[in-house]
C-alpha cells in the first residue's frame, strides 16, 4: 500500500471516526436532553409529593387536635352523666317515698332505700328480682293487707294493673299500718317506673276530718233541734203575750197603761222578728231550707205585703204603691211564703229608711219561653239611700251601714243576707242601685213558671166608657189610669177636687169617679158630698191606705159606692167596676120594689187548738166578726166536728195531743173524697224548722200561719174564705154595695 493510499485510508478512517463522534455527540446530547426533562419532571414530582406530605401532616395535626378535644369532651360528658346520675339517685334517695324502675321483662332495675326498706330482712329483693316475685313475697310474708284475697288472685290483680293505660293509682296498707299509694307509669322505652307515696298522714287527717265532720254535723243537728225546740217554746208563750197585749190594748186603759200594753206587744213582735231571722239564717246555713213551689197570685201577695206594712208607712206619711204591668199574668208557681218574705224585707227596709215620699213596687216582665215568665221586680224608695262603698256589703251577714244617718234604725242586719240567699235559691239575682240621699232601688230578677192565664173573669164586662181619677200623687194616678185603660175605659186624670170638678163640669159625661181619700183641697168624702149636692148620681169609688178609719163616717154610706184599700189590687178594681157598671142603670132608675134578699147564715169557722190560752186569744181576736166559732181540743175532735158542724174553714193547730193537726187534716181529706168538697184548712204552727212546711202542705193543708197569731191575718183569712151563702163577716160593711 502506498503512502497515498495509506494517507487516504487514514483520512477516511479519521472522517468516519469524526462522523461517528459527531453521531455519538448527537446521541449524547439527545440523551442529555431526555435526562434533563426527566430530571425536571422528577423534581416536580418531588415538589408535589412534598406538598401532599405537608398537607397530610397538617391534616394529621388537626385530627390529632380534634381527637384530643373529643376525648376531653367525652370525658366531661361522662363526668356530667355520672354527676347527673348521682344527683338523680341522691334526690331519689332523699325522697321519703319509694321509687323503683323495672325493665321491659319486669325485673327490678333500681330502687331507692325507701322502696327497699319495706323489704328489710328480705335480701332477695334487689335489682334483678321480678315484680311478680316481689308481689308474692308481699302476700306470703303478710307485708301488705290483701283483704283476704288468695295469693294468685291478688298477684294477678296487681299484675294486671300494669296492663292498664293509664294505670289507676292504688292504695295499699302495709303491715306496719302505713298507707302507700302506688302510682305507676310506663316509660317510653318500655320500662315501668313506680312511685310508692306514703299517704299515711293524709289518710289519718282525712279520717280525723271525717270524724270531725260527723261530730260537727251531729252538733249542727243538735243545734237545729235545739233551735226548733227553743222557738217552739218561745213562740207558744209569746203567742199568749203578744195576743193578750193586743187584746189588752183594745180595752179601756189609761194612757200610761196603753203605753205599757203597746210596748209589751211591740217588744214581743220585735223579738219574734229577730228569732225568725236567726232561724231562717241558720236553716239556710245548714242547707236545710227547702222551697215549696205552688201556684199563687203574685200581685195579691205583693198587695198583702203592702197591707202588712201600710200601718208603718202611714205613721210616717209614706205612700205605698204597686205598679204591676197590666199585661202580665199574675199567677205563677213559686214558694209564696218565701216570695212574701223577700218582698216584706225589701219593702220593710224601704219604709224603714224613708222619712218622706213613697215606696213603689214595680213589676215588669216578659215570657222567656212559653209558660215561663222573666220577672223584674223593683222596690224603689225616696229614703236616705246607700253610699257606693256599702252597696255590696249590705248583702252580707249582720252588715248594717253604720253611720250617723242610720244608726237610729233597728234590725238584725240579716234581712238582706237571707233575701239574697232566698233569691239565689230560686235561681234569681238581686242588686241595688242607690246614691246617698237619693233613695234606693232594690231589684230582683226571677224566672217563674206561669201557673195559668190571668183568670180575670171578664163577664159581665165593664160597661163604663169614661172614668175620672182624682189623685194628688203622680205615680199612683198614672198607675190607676193605665189599669183603667186596660179595662177599656177612657181616663181623665186630675190632681185635685177642683180640677176634677172643673173636668166634670166642662167635659161631661163621666161614668165613674175614682178618688183618693186625701186630695190637697178637699178630702175624698167632702169631694163626693159636693158631687152629690150638685146632683151627680154617677158611681163614686174612694180608695184609702186606711179604709177602716172611715168605717163610722155616715158619708161613706150616703155618698160612696165603694171604698177600696190602697194600693188597689187590679183584680179587686176590676170586680168592683164590673159590679158597679152592672148596677149603673139600676142606680139611675127609680128604686123598684126591692127583691127579698136570700137569708144568709153566719160563716162557720172551726179552730182546732189544745191550748186554752190560745183558744181565749183566738176567740177574742175574732169577737167582732159575724161568724159561728167552734173549738176542737185535739185532732180527733176536729175530725168529728168537721162532720157535725160542717165548717166553712178550719184553723188547725199542728201540735195537739191524741191526733195532731197533720193527721186530722189527712183524715178530713179522706172524708172529703166521697163528697168532693174541699174545706180550706189553714194550719197554725209554732214550728219554723225545715221540713215542717212540706209536712204541713203534704198533709192536705192549704196554707199556714205561724204563731203568734195576728188579728189582722186571721180576720183577713176568714174574710177571704167566706162563702157566698154566708153573711159577710165584717160588720158594719164600710161600703154601700146593696147588690153585692
Ligand atoms: P236590717 O234592716 O235588719 O238592718 P238588712 O240586711 O235588711 O238588715 O239591711 C242591711 C242594711 O242595709 C241596713 O241596716 C241598711 O243600712 C241598709 N239598707 C237596706 N235597705 C235600705 C234602703 N232601702 N235604704 C237605705 N239603706 C238600706
Residue 342 near ligand 1, beta carbon < 6 Å: no
Phi, psi (degrees; rounded to nearest 5) at 138: -55, -45
- Ligand 1 and 357: CB distance under 6 A: no
The structural architecture, per CATH, of the domain 98-198 is: 2-Layer Sandwich (3.30)
Ligand 1 center from residue 337 Cα (angstroms): 21
Atom of ligand 1 nearest to the CA of 414: 6
State if residue 577 touches ligand 1 by the CB under 6 angstroms criterion. Answer: no
Asked whether 348 lines ligand 1 (CB < 6 A), one says no
CA–centroid distance, 704 to ligand 1, in Å, is 28
Question: Using CA atoms, how far apart are residues 181 and 119, in angstroms rounded to an integer?
Answer: 17
Q: CATH number of the domain at 294-449, out of 3.30.565.10, 3.40.309.10, 1.10.760.10, 2.40.30.160? A: 3.30.565.10
Distances (CA, A) of 289 to 107, 366, 426: 60, 29, 11
559 lines ligand 1 (CB under 6 A): no
350 lines ligand 1 (CB under 6 A): yes
Mutation choice for ligand 1 from 274, 345, 349, 434, CB with most ligand atoms inside 8 A: 349
Owner of C-alpha cell 203534704: 698
The CA 483 to ligand 1 mean position distance, Å, reads 32
CATH number belonging to domain 603-739: 3.40.50.2300
Q: Is the CB of 336 under 6 A from ligand 1?
A: no
User: Is the CB of residue 349 below 6 angstroms from any atom belonging to ligand 1?
Assistant: yes
CA–centroid distance, residue 434 to ligand 1 (Å): 12
List Cβ neighbours of 122 (8 Å cut-off, separation of 6 or more): 137, 141
Report pLDDT for 83.
92
- Say yes or no: CB of residue 394 within 6 Å of ligand 1: yes
- Other C-beta atoms closer than 10 Å to the C-beta of 613 total 15
Cα(394) to ligand 1 centroid in Å equals: 7
Those residues with Cβ within 8 angstroms of residue 65's Cβ, 6 or more apart along the chain or in another chain: none
Ligand 1 geometric centre to CA of 349 (Å): 6
CB 503 within 8 A of CB 478: no
Residue 416 in contact with ligand 1 by CB distance below 6 A = yes
User: Could you tell me the CA-to-CA distances from 485 to 365, 716, 736 in Å, in that order?
Assistant: 19, 30, 25
User: Could you tell me if the CB of 345 is within 6 A of ligand 1?
Assistant: yes
Atom index in ligand 1 nearest the CA of residue 399 equals 10
Question: If 0-12 CB within 10 Å is exposed, 13-18 middle and 19+ buried, where does residue 184 land?
Answer: buried
Give me ligand 1 centre to Cα 421, in Å: 15
pLDDT at res. 739? 33
Structural contact between residues 706 and 294, judged by C-beta atoms closer than 8 angstroms: no
pLDDT reported for residue 732: 45
Closest ligand 1 atom to 383 CA: 24
Residues in contact with 210: Cβ distance below 8 Å, sequence separation at least 6, in sequence order: none
Determine whether the shortest distance from the Cβ of 360 to ligand 1 is under 6 A: no
pLDDT averaged per 10 residues in sequence order, the chain, 740 residues: 88 92 93 93 93 92 92 93 89 88 93 89 92 93 88 92 90 90 90 92 93 88 71 72 84 87 83 76 71 85 84 88 86 89 93 93 88 94 90 75 55 82 93 92 94 58 89 84 86 91 88 92 90 89 85 84 84 83 59 50 91 84 90 92 92 85 90 81 70 66 79 85 82 40
Q: Whose CA is nearest to atom 7 of ligand 1?
A: 415
How many Å lie between the centroid of ligand 1 and the Cα of residue 90? Answer: 64
Q: How many CB atoms lie within 10 A of CB 244?
A: 19
Q: What span, in angstroms and rounded, lies between the C-alpha atoms of 348 and 353?
A: 9
The cell for 736 is 154601700
Confirm or reject: Cβ of 411 under 6 Å from ligand 1: yes
Nearest protein CA to atom 14 of ligand 1, as residue = 400
Specify the residue with its C-alpha closest to ligand 1, atom 18.
349
Distance 345 CA to ligand 1 centre (A): 9
- Centroid of ligand 1 to alpha carbon of 285 (angstroms): 20
Atom of ligand 1 nearest to the CA of 384: 25
End-to-end CA distance of the chain: 203
What atom in ligand 1 is closest to the CA of residue 416? Answer: 6
**SS3 at position 672:** helix
Pocket-testing residue among 347, 400, 437, ligand 1, by greatest number of atoms within 8 A of Cβ = 400
Cα 600 to ligand 1 centre (Å)? 49
- CA dihedral (628, 634, 635, 641) in degrees, to 10, reads -30
Atom of ligand 1 nearest to the CA of 379: 23
Phi and psi angles of residue 21, each rounded to the nearest 5 degrees, phi first: -60, -45
Beta strand extents in 427-573 (DSSP E only): 429-434, 440-449, 466-470, 490-494, 512-516, 540-544, 562-565
Q: Give the Å distance between the CA of 400 and the centre of ligand 1.
A: 6
Tell me the C-alpha distance between 629 and 358, whole Å.
40
Q: How far is the CA of 343 from the centre of ligand 1 (A)?
A: 13
For atom 13 of ligand 1, the residue with the nearest CA is 400
The Cα 329–Cα 365 span in angstroms is 10
Task: Give every CB contact of residue 660 below 8 A, 6+ residues apart in sequence.
Answer: 635, 654
Nearest CA to ligand 1 atom 22: 350
Burial class (CB in 10 A: 0-12, 13-18, 19+), 537: exposed
User: Which CATH code is given to the segment(s) 466-585?
Assistant: 3.40.50.2300
Amino acid at each position: 500500500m502506498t503512502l497515498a493510499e495509506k494517507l487516504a485510508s487514514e483520512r477516511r478512517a479519521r472522517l468516519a471516526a469524526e462522523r461517528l463522534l459527531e453521531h455519538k455527540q448527537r446521541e449524547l446530547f439527545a440523551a442529555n436532553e431526555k435526562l434533563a426533562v426527566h430530571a425536571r419532571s422528577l423534581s416536580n414530582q418531588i415538589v408535589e409529593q412534598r406538598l401532599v406530605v405537608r398537607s397530610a401532616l397538617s391534616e394529621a395535626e388537626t385530627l390529632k387536635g380534634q381527637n384530643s378535644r373529643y376525648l376531653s369532651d367525652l370525658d366531661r360528658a361522662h363526668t356530667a352523666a355520672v354527676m347527673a346520675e348521682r344527683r338523680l339517685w341522691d334526690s331519689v334517695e332523699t325522697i321519703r317515698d319509694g321509687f323503683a324502675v323495672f325493665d321491659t321483662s319486669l325485673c327490678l332495675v333500681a330502687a331507692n332505700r325507701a322502696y327497699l326498706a319495706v323489704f328489710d330482712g328480705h335480701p332477695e329483693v334487689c335489682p334483678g328480682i321480678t315484680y311478680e316475685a316481689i308481689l308474692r313475697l308481699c302476700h306470703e310474708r303478710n307485708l301488705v293487707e290483701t283483704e283476704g284475697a288468695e295469693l294468685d288472685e291478688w298477684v294477678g290483680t296487681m299484675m294486671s294493673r300494669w296492663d292498664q293505660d293509664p294505670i289507676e293509682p292504688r292504695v295499699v296498707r302495709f303491715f306496719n299500718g302505713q298507707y302507700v299509694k302506688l302510682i305507676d307509669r310506663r316509660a317510653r322505652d318500655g320500662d315501668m317506673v313506680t312511685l310508692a307515696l306514703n299517704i299515711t298522714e293524709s289518710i289519718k287527717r282525712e279520717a280525723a276530718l271525717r270524724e270531725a265532720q260527723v261530730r260537727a254535723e251531729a252538733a249542727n243537728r243538735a243545734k237545729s233541734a235545739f233551735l226548733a225546740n227553743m222557738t217552739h217554746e218561745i213562740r207558744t208563750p209569746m203567742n199568749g203575750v203578744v195576743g193578750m197585749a193586743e187584746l189588752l190594748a183594745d180595752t179601756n186603759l189609761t194612757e200610761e197603761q196603753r203605753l205599757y200594753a203597746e210596748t209589751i206587744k211591740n217588744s214581743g213582735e220585735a223579738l219574734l222578728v229577730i228569732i225568725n231571722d236567726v232561724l231562717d239564717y241558720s236553716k239556710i246555713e245548714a242547707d236545710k231550707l227547702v222551697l215549696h213551689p205552688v201556684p199563687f197570685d203574685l200581685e195579691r201577695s205583693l198587695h198583702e205585703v203592702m197591707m202588712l206594712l201600710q200601718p208603718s208607712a202611714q205613721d210616717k206619711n209614706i205612700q205605698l204603691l204597686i205598679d204591676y204591668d197590666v199585661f202580665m199574668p199574675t199567677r205563677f208557681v213559686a214558694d209564696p211564703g218565701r216570695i212574701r218574705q223577700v218582698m216584706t224585707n225589701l219593702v220593710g227596709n224601704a219604709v224603714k229608711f224613708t222619712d218622706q215620699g213613697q215606696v213603689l213596687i214595680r213589676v215588669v216582665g216578659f215570657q222567656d219561653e212559653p209558660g215561663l215568665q222573666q220577672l223584674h221586680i223593683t222596690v224603689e224608695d225616696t229614703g236616705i239611700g246607700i253610699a257606693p262603698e256599702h252597696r255590696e256589703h249590705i248583702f252580707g251577714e249582720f252588715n248594717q251601714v253604720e253611720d250617723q244617718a242610720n244608726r237610729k234604725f233597728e234590725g238584725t242586719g240579716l234581712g238582706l243576707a237571707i233575701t239574697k240567699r232566698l233569691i239565689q235559691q230560686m235561681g234569681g239575682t238581686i242588686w241595688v242601685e242607690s246614691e246617698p240621699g237619693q233613695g234606693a232601688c232594690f231589684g230582683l230578677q226571677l224566672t217563674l213558671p206561669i201557673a195559668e192565664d190571668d183568670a180575670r173573669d171578664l163577664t159581665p164586662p165593664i160597661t163604663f166608657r169614661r172614668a175620672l181619677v182624682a189623685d194628688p200623687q203622680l205615680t199612683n194616678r198614672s198607675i190607676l189610669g193605665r189599669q183603667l185603660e186596660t179595662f177599656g175605659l177612657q181616663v181623665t186624670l186630675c190632681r185635685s177636687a177642683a180640677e176634677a170638678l172643673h173636668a166634670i163640669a166642662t167635659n161631661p159625661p163621666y161614668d165613674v169617679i175614682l178618688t183618693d181619700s186625701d186630695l190637697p183641697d178637699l178630702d175624698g168624702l167632702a169631694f163626693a158630698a159636693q158631687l152629690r149636692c150638685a146632683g151627680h148620681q154617677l158611681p163614686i169609688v174612694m180608695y184609702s191606705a186606711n179604709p177602716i178609719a172611715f168605717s163610722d163616717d155616715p158619708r161613706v154610706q150616703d155618698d160612696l159606692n165603694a171604698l177600696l184599700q190602697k194600693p188597689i189590687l187590679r183584680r179587686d178594681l176590676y170586680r168592683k167596676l164590673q159590679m158597679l157598671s152592672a148596677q149603673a142603670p139600676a142606680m139611675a132608675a127609680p128604686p123598684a120594689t126591692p127583691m127579698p134578699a136570700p137569708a144568709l147564715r153566719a160563716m162557720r169557722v172551726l179552730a182546732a187548738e189544745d191550748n186554752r190560752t190560745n183558744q181565749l186569744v183566738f176567740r177574742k181576736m175574732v169577737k167582732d166578726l159575724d161568724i159561728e166559732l167552734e173549738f176542737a181540743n185535739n185532732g180527733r175532735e176536729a175530725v168529728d166536728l168537721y162532720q157535725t158542724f160542717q165548717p166553712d174553714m178550719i184553723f188547725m193547730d199542728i201540735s195537739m195531743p191524741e191526733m195532731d193537726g197533720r193527721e186530722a187534716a189527712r183524715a178530713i181529706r179522706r172524708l172529703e173524697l166521697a163528697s168532693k168538697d174541699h174545706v180550706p184548712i189553714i194550719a197554725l204552727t209554732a214550728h219554723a224548722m225545715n221540713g215542717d212546711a212540706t209536712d204541713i202542705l203534704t198533709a192536705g193543708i192549704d196554707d199556714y200561719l205561724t204563731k203568734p197569731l195576728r188579728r189582722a191575718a186571721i180576720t183577713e183569712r176568714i174574710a177571704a174564705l167566706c162563702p157566698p151563702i154566708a153573711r159577710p163577716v165584717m160588720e158594719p160593711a164600710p161600703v154601700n154595695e146593696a147588690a153585692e
